[in-house]
Chain A
Amino acid sequence: MSDESSGMHLTLEIWRQDDADDRGRMETYHLDDVSPDMSFLEMLDVLNEQLISGGREPVAFDHDCREGICGACSLVIDGKAHGADAETTVCQLHMRRFKDGDTIHVEPWRANAFPVVRDLVVDRSAFDRIIARGGYVSVGTGSAPDANAIPVPKDRAESSFEAAACIGCGACVAACPNASAMLFVAAKIAHLSHLPQGAPERDRRVLAMVDQMDREGFGNCTNHFECGAACPKGIEVETIARMNREFLSAALRER
């Protein structure tokens, strides 16, 4: 536990926007006594408590689990989605990564497909619509065979898991200069295509999900690979190549 008087003084430049129609602007705030043991979101909590006590509206930001798994938190910190630490969501980022006197810029995800709802909160429902087009195995409740009837080689199960670890936060989109959603879509395709389950709908899945991705207005992938660097779950950019192969062979078979 750190002594309060050793707390840091910080300047925060934060994006404020009343609603989707507002143009938005950066505003400056000063915060004293920030403990290095605080998480980044706890630091924002302290700021918000101060704002509310002063009768001002707190900074809106999405968060829930605060342990890196729900995918709700979504801040661009000093130009980096989820901040500079590798494989870390912003809720897991701690203030010990900053120093006394720092100025920190905080902005929302920026992408046409993710309109700002308020301040740092964006609308990521495009991701749900992509999943609704095929990000599942079509198996109605009650119709499953015994769980051990389909053995899955351990390494394939592991690869599937690695891709399934995606938390749907959208950092990949926020980090990409083109705001492409390829890594998100590829992760779901890889999760399912490593497994024997759902193989009959493999072609349909990749075609439909890519189609929806395009309709939502995400950009193209031009191999910047910023997505992989920003992904808090370490999902590898090779996953995209795998999806491209899936897509091509599915498209060929479709013809």
Chain B
Amino acid sequence: MIQASPRLDSKCPTGPIAERWDKHRFDLKLVNPANKRKFDIIVVGTGLAGASAAASLAELGYDVKAFCIQDSPRRAHSIAAQGGINAAKNYPNDGDSVYRLFYDTVKGGDFRARESNVHRLAEVSNSIIDQCVAQGVPFARDYGGLLDNRSFGGAQVSRTFYARGQTGQQLLLGAYGALMRQVGSGKVQMFPRREMLDVVVVDGVARGIVVKNLVTGEYERHAAHAVLLCTGGYGNAFYLSTNAKACNVTAAWRAHKRGAFFANPCFTQIHPTCIPVAGDHQSKLTLMSESLRNDGRVWVPRKDGDRRPASEIPESERDYYLERRYPSFGNLVPRDVASRAAKERCDAGYGVGASGQAVFLDFLDAIERDGEDAIRAKYGNLFQMYEKITDENPYRTPMRIYPAVHYTMGGLWVDYNLESTIPGLFVLGEANFSDHGANRLGASALMQGLADGYFVAPYTVGGHLAGRALPEVDTENPAFREAELACRERTDRLLAVNGRRTADSIHRDLGLAMWNHCGMARNESGLKTALERIRELRVEFWENVRVPGDGEHLNQALEHAGRVADFLEFAELLAADALDRSESCGGHFREESQTEEGEALRDDKNFCHVSAWEWNGLDEPSTLHQEPLDFEHVKLTQRSYK
């Protein structure tokens, strides 16, 4: 049975769902305009969530310090998002509405997200598009000069705005522009090439951070009245993923160890359309945007082991298995469903390509229908990317694709204000757990990151600043000294092991264990194996890792080793959460819990809750806190895309 934890107050407003956000905003205390400049706010991360938050808070008059790992805020991982961003504009007049976007997102997430949060997300979605267009984001347009839309998985309306296959880039450049405007005006101080290594908590409230300057190796202390973590997802716990190489769990994990609960870490998204692994040297995987499923048809041969080139397999010998299994959504089923269906076919021996771990994504019908130029205009950069990597021309032969780790729905637990269980510590974007439940719909991460940064945090952070007594704290406070010392000691330990293995090779082993036992299908014995293996690897890491150089220069081996060390601790929590949740839901598929047709089978009686984990120390089991989820508006039903 689900037991509500007294430690998890979601602070969700009550009353009619469409009025909750308004009511809540009215109830939040406001900071007097003249007082805003007395408050310092730290924003860690400059992706869509961080850049939009930093810019918006500075516009309000707060003094903001922003931090990122890369040499420029414009290079945050959000830059790589391809396909698009959702909003309930209903410009195509095809029946969309705020309520439908809300409904689709709750259902797409397989009923594991809060209704109040999701409704707010859908409500502010339209303002995001307005804001981005005003910034000069060059979205796709029709011949009348108005905005164009495409469809994405899990929806039967066209609500996705896009800028070719570079939507994330264009949105981030918009937010980066807004951020740099504030840097120019002096309201934001930008600190690139910094890695946050700890959150500093004074009298129970987050009051600053410790960062390492990656160029000089120096530790820096920064104090503030609020800290916002916008540090992205933890997909690289699997080593191979579509995430950029610097994506990490370090910031979130260090905050977790200071008292921020970690919610639903096992909810990871495996994206159905990625370029398959080519060999042992593979360093990351490349996504082929879901938007391709608008025009591409997914198939495998009807005969197992059929390795003829696609062009030699006649129509009658092809199995368009998504269209066959899910006639109403066809190629546009949600990601979790599409990924599992691909795995099912490949495991059964129908996979294509040298490894048999791939299926075809075929554009020949679309090219015949619309012409090659039309397809190039929509997806040119993706086709080019594919060709560069595989040396094959997707205008002539179907793409080979396979699922890969892509996104993490889990993250630090936050309440309706996006505040974690550490007061004053807010978490935005992919780093929090809040809106996507057990499966995120395509084009909804960009929406959520920008919703959090432009339209939610600027209000709720104000509520914290106006509502709490925040005595002055400076960086000489013992809590800062203690935190910095802990960071230094950890770096020294990493450099002192002087063993025989590289951090990267141990990271690869971790990834393999995670992919094999914690990937698209999970079961009890596999998860127990994973837990053991992760612990072994952690022990091996601290006995046998080799980190050359010192901590006083740019040292990329040291940076990476620090992140791997955190992934090794975090992975254990991910696996433990997956083991605890013995139901299947969304991207979390427990083989023990499936329907006769092999679809995910939820267990609402025992698992209609958020699992939020509290850290108790290394090698101590974490404490599970449960936040029950109520569904007043979208009726709890078994999802069906048939």
Residues of A whose CB lies within 8 Å of any CB of B are: 1-2, 18-19, 35, 37-39, 41-43, 45-46, 48-49, 51-53, 55-58, 60, 62-72, 87-88, 92, 94, 96, 117-118, 121, 123-125, 127-128, 131-148, 150-154, 157-158, 160-161, 164-165, 167-168, 191-192, 195, 197-198
Contacts and interface: CB of A to CB of B under 8 A. Distances in A.
Contacts of B192: 125, 128
Interface in B348-392: 354-355, 384-385, 388-389, 391
B166 interface: yes
Contact of B281 (A38, A60, A72, A144): A38
Given A41-B283, A58-B556, A141-B59, A65 B80 contact: yes
Contact of B166 (A69, A72, A144): A69
Nearest to B545: A52
B503 to A, nearest CB: 8
28 contacts: A37-B279, A37-B281, A41-B283, A48-B557, A53-B546, A65-B77, A66-B245, A72-B71, A92-B385, A118-B554, A121-B71, A121-B554, A125-B72, A131-B180, A132-B184, A139-B134, A141-B59, A141-B455, A143-B134, A147-B133, A148-B147, A151-B145, A152-B141, A157-B141, A158-B138, A160-B136, A161-B163, A164-B163
Nearest to A123: B71
B177 A137 contact: yes
A1 B391 CA distance: 12
Contacts of B145: 151-154, 157
Nearest to A212: B184
A148 B454 CA distance: 20
Contact of A124 (B72, B281, B454): B72
Contact of B354 (A1, A45, A124, A133): A1
Contacts of B129: 147
B75 A71 contact: yes
B135 A135 contact: no
Interface size class of B (residues with CB under 8 A): 35 or more
B135 A139 contact: yes
Interface in B250-289: 278-279, 281-284, 286
A18 to B, nearest CB: 7
A2 B130 CA distance: 49
Interface string B160-188: 00011010011001001110110110000
Given A56-B548, A92-B385, A141-B455, A147 B147 contact: yes
Nearest to B76: A70
Interface of B: 52, 55-56, 59, 70-75, 77, 79-80, 89, 91, 126-127, 129-136, 138-147, 163-164, 166, 169-170, 173, 176-178, 180-181, 183-184, 190, 192, 215, 244-246, 278-279, 281-284, 286, 354-355, 384-385, 388-389, 391, 454-455, 458, 500-502, 504-505, 546-549, 553-557
Contact of A58 (B139, B246, B505, B548): B548
Contacts of B134: 137, 139, 143-145, 147, 197
A19 B553 contact: yes
Given A19-B553, A70-B80, A128-B180, A144 B458 contact: no
Interface centre among A51, A57, A94, A147 (most CB of B within 10 A): A147
Contact of B385 (A37, A67, A161, A168): A67
Given A64-B246, A132-B183, A42 B74 contact: no
Contacts of A53: 500-502, 546
B55 A146 contact: no
A43 B192 CA distance: 27
Nearest to B170: A164
Nearest to B163: A161
A70 B79 contact: yes
Contacts of B278: 1, 37
Given A138-B181, A164-B163, 8 more contacts: A37-B278, A48-B557, A58-B557, A70-B70, A137-B177, A141-B178, A148-B146, A195-B136
Given A72-B70, A141-B55, A141-B56, A64 B75 contact: yes
Contact of B504 (A49, A117, A145, A192): A49
A235 to B, nearest CB: 13
A205 B429 CA distance: 31
Contacts of A153: 141, 145
B222 to A, nearest CB: 19
A142 B127 contact: yes
B183 to A, nearest CB: 5
Contact of A45 (B59, B89, B281, B455): B281
B180 A92 contact: no
A197 B549 CA distance: 50
A67 B71 contact: no
B138 A160 contact: yes
A210 B443 CA distance: 36
A124 B75 CA distance: 12
Given A128-B72, A146-B130, A57 B136 contact: no
Contacts of B384: 87
B388 A92 contact: yes
B70 A161 contact: no
B133 A168 contact: no
A52 B564 CA distance: 16
B554 A117 contact: yes
B418 to A, nearest CB: 16
Contacts of B55: 141
Contacts of A139: 131, 134-135, 178
A141 B173 contact: no
Contacts of A138: 181
A58 B190 CA distance: 28
A44 B392 CA distance: 24
B549 A57 contact: yes
A65 B546 CA distance: 25
Interface centre among B282, B547, B556 (most CB of A within 10 A): B556
A94 B388 contact: yes
Contact of B75 (A2, A19, A70, A135): A70
Contacts of B177: 131, 135-137
B138 A60 contact: no
B283 A39 contact: yes
Nearest to B177: A136
A88 B144 CA distance: 34
Given A94-B388, A151-B145, A57 B548 contact: yes
Task: Please list the 8 inter-chain residue pairs (A to B) with the smallest Cβ-Cβ separation, ordered nearest first.
Answer: A136-B177, A151-B145, A144-B134, A132-B184, A161-B138, A144-B130, A147-B133, A141-B56
Nearest to B176: A131
Nearest to B353: A1
B389 A92 contact: yes
A118 B505 CA distance: 24
A46 to B, nearest CB: 6
Contacts of B73: 128
B281 A42 contact: yes
Given A49-B504, A154-B145, A65 B244 contact: yes
B455 A168 contact: no
A127 B72 contact: yes
Contacts of A195: 136, 138
A118 B458 CA distance: 38
Given A69-B80, A124-B71, A141-B59, A96 B388 contact: no
A19 B133 CA distance: 42
Contacts of B181: 132, 136, 138
B429 to A, nearest CB: 16
A43 B282 CA distance: 10
Given A1-B354, A1-B355, A121-B554, A63 B130 contact: no
Interface centre among B138, B170, B546 (most CB of A within 10 A): B138
A198 B140 CA distance: 19
